[in-house]
Amino acid sequence: MTYVGMPTPKETPQETMAKIAGSAKGMKVVIVGGGVSGLSAGWWLARSGAEVTVLDKGIVGWEASGRNGGGASHYQSPLFEEEQRMWPHMDALLGYPTEHQQERLVIAVSPKQLNQYHYLAKMNNDMGYRVDLLDGDQVRSMVPLAGDNCLGGMHYRFGGHANPQRSVQAYAWALQDLGGRIYQHSPVTGFETVGGKVTAVHATSGRHECDAVVVAAGPQIQALMAKLGVEVPLAAARAEMIVTEPAPMMPIGGVDGNGLYGRQTLRGNLAYGGGPHEWLETFEAGPPARPSSPLTRNLARRVAELFPKAAHLNVIRSWAGIVENTPDGRPIIDRMKDPENVTVITMSGVGFGLSPASGHAVRDLVVDGACSFTDIAKISLSRFDGIGADWREQRGWQAPKAA
């Protein structure tokens, strides 16, 4: 099972699994944060034979990992080809459904959008990823809910989408099936360090001894890593989505555009987000609330423009998620120099789709000290060495002062 529009992988995921089996036998790894990146890392490590413990402040996948659009088409990432290699096999490898579906369509309802999408199509084609350009009639034949306002679009012959909530739980359950332990409602309170290594992680569930630690706690990474004397520049913001009642199934559910991201779920619901975000203060205990705003109305308008033939469908929910960003919006996947057995991962708001690959990268850093399948030097933490304390202000990313 591979994609038309991607290079053919050199090895099957099953071959990779056979290769790593036993490579981390006996290694005790504590993962801080049961979001999609932490759980995928935990699953890869458990597949390697490590004894994995995941600590989460609440329920697995409760934050942005379980609240996003489910997209899996992030071609800009060094992890992308690995993600594409893995996704079609994840249901079988995990043993639980993820609702993964292949391919994407991005459609335009304004000339400016069409220009933008053409640029992105060329950028992909230059990388060797096949994108077909579509005119309005071609879109209408492929997207039954599109309308006369559609000017054209592009068809990614790769990429896809999955159900975030189901996938996160699938990683968690698969990890447990491999002997991993997950402590929910167990916030981390501190680290024990001996000779430049973390030897135990303290949480409300108790003291967890470890040979290695992975910190994958989203916006809370900053406060946790500060306890270890490492500064990780992150800023959190709120993003919003809406969902409609089910629409008739479209042949390709991964359709977005008009400034929106999202998908038609396998149940038929149209789930879309986009638009302005609100920068927030970050709290070590996690976000106190995840409110949505009247932006719901702007999202509804854009979905109605994207799918005029669905404009009569009821919106049944809106929600929000709190997402962390690094100063350049790119991930940090890096093993620290001190304490040297700590690996940090934040995907800077683009973590769900890339998760099958990000877990592999973390596994490689924890077990082998280097990523085996792609270059990740440009997403190391050190690129932010010496960043000014006012980096948020420079970007206009500061949280509003509390009233």
Partner 1 sequence: MHINNGTDPHAIGTKLPAPEARYDMVVVGAGPAGLTAALAGAGEGKSVLLVDENPIPGAAMGNDVPLLFGGRMTTATQNAERMLETVFMSEPMLEAAMDAGVEVLLGTSAWGVYRNGAGITGLPENVVALADKDRGWIVGYNELVLATGARDLAIGFPGWNQPGVMGAAALERLLAHYEAFAGKRILIVGSHNLALETALLARDKGVDVAGLVEVRSAPQGDAALAEAVRAAQIPFYLEDAPAEAIGGIDGVERVRLRSGAEIAVDTVVLAIGLVPSIELIDAMGGKRVLDGARGGYIPGDNDGVTCVGDCAGLADTGFDHVDYRMEWARELGKLSKGDTIVCQCEEVTRADLLGVQPPRYLERPAPMQARSLDTLIKDGPPNPDQIKRLTRAGMGVCQGRRCRDQVAMMLAMAADGPFGSVPLATHRAPVRPLPLRILADWEESEEMRAGWDVWFGIPTQWVPYRDIDTPREREHQTAIAEGWSL
φ/ψ region of 2 (left if φ > 0, alpha if ψ in -120 to 50, else beta) reads beta
Interacting positions 7-46 with partner 1 (CB under 8 A) = none
Q: Count other Cβ atoms within 10 Å, centred on residue 128.
A: 10
The nearer residue to partner 1, 212 or 350, going by C-beta atoms, is: 350
Q: In the structure encoding, which two tokens stand for residue 193, read together? A: 């360090």
Task: Tell me the site size for partner 1, rule CB under 8 A.
Answer: 95
Task: Give me 3's structure tokens.
Answer: 């994609």
For residue 159, the one-letter residue type is G
Q: How many CB atoms sit inside 10 A of residue 69's CB? A: 22
d(CA 263, CA 49) in angstroms, rounded, equals 36
Q: Which of residues 309-348 bind partner 1 (CB under 8 A)?
A: 310-320, 322-323, 325, 327-330, 348
**Which of 119, 206, 207, 229 touches partner 1 (CB under 8 A)?**
119
Rounded Cα distance between 39 and 31, Å, is 8
Question: Which amino acid is present at 245?
Answer: E
Interface region with partner 1, contact rule CB under 8 A, candidates 133-141, 192-200, 240-248, 354-362: 240-248
Question: In whole angstroms, how close is the CB of 279 to partner 1 at the nearest point?
Answer: 6
Among the listed residues 258, 264, 341, 343, the single contact to partner 1 using CB under 8 A: 258
Q: Which of residues 86-115 bind partner 1 (CB under 8 A)?
A: 91, 95-97, 99, 110, 112-113, 115
Nearer to partner 1, 46 or 198 (CB): 46
Q: Of 277, 335, 360, 363, which lies in the binding site for partner 1, with binding defined by CB under 8 A?
A: 277
> Per CB under 8 A, does 238 bind partner 1?
yes
Strands 152-161, 101-108: pairing kind: antiparallel
Of 189-197, 213-221, 258-266, 361-369, which part binds partner 1 (CB under 8 A)?
Answer: 258-266
**Segment interacting with partner 1, rule: CB under 8 A, options 15-23, 59-67, 134-142, 216-224:** 59-67
* Nearest-approach distance from CB 29 to partner 1, in angstroms: 19
- For partner 1, which stretch binds (CB under 8 A), given 130-138, 149-157, 355-363, 393-401? 393-401
| Among residues 3, 44, 75, 191, the one that binds partner 1 under rule CB under 8 A | 75
Closest distance to partner 1 from the beta carbon of 176 (Å): 8
Applying CB under 8 A, among 24, 50, 212, 280 the residue interacting with partner 1 is 280
Binding of residue 251 to partner 1 (CB under 8 A): no
Do 197 and 136 meet the contact criterion of CB atoms below 8 Å apart?
Answer: no
Q: Binding to partner 1 (CB under 8 A): which residues in 288-307?
A: 288-298, 300-301, 303-304
**Nearest approach, Cβ of 163 to partner 1 (angstroms)?**
9
Q: Does 278 bind partner 1 (CB under 8 A)?
A: yes
Contact status: 274 vs partner 1 (CB under 8 A): yes
Concatenating the DSSP letter of every residue in 347-396 gives -TT--TTTHHHHHHHHHHHHHHSS-SSS--GGGSGGGGTT--TTHHHHHT
For residue 8, the number of C-alpha atoms closer than 13 Å in the C-beta half-sphere is 1
In whole angstroms, give the CA distance from residue 256 to residue 263.
7
∠ at Cα 308 (306, 313), nearest 5°? Answer: 105
Of 227 and 315, which CB lies nearer to partner 1 in the complex structure? 315
Pairing of strands 181-183, 51-55: parallel
Q: Please, which residue, 195 or 396, has the CB nearer to partner 1?
A: 396
Q: Which residues contact 33 (CB under 8 A, 6 or more apart)?
A: 54, 55, 56, 215, 216, 217, 218, 220, 221
Residue whose CB is less far from partner 1, 51 or 324 = 324
Binding status of residue 66 toward partner 1 by CB under 8 A: yes
Note the maximum CA span of the chain: 67
Burial class (CB in 10 A: 0-12, 13-18, 19+), 343: buried
Q: Does 388 bind partner 1 (CB under 8 A)?
A: no
Q: With respect to partner 1, which residue has the nearer C-beta, 114 or 212?
A: 114
Spatial distance between the Cα atoms of 85 and 92, rounded to a whole number of angstroms: 13
Q: Is 148 in the site for partner 1 (CB under 8 A)?
A: no
Q: Which stretch binds partner 1 (CB under 8 A): 24-32, 131-139, 352-360, 389-397?
A: 389-397
Task: Find the Cα–Cα–Cα–Cα dihedral 395, 401, 402, 403, rounded to 10°.
Answer: -130
Q: Are 398 and 279 in contact (CB under 8 A)?
A: yes
Restricting to residues 155-214, name those near partner 1 by CB under 8 A: 165-166, 169, 173-174, 177, 182, 184-185
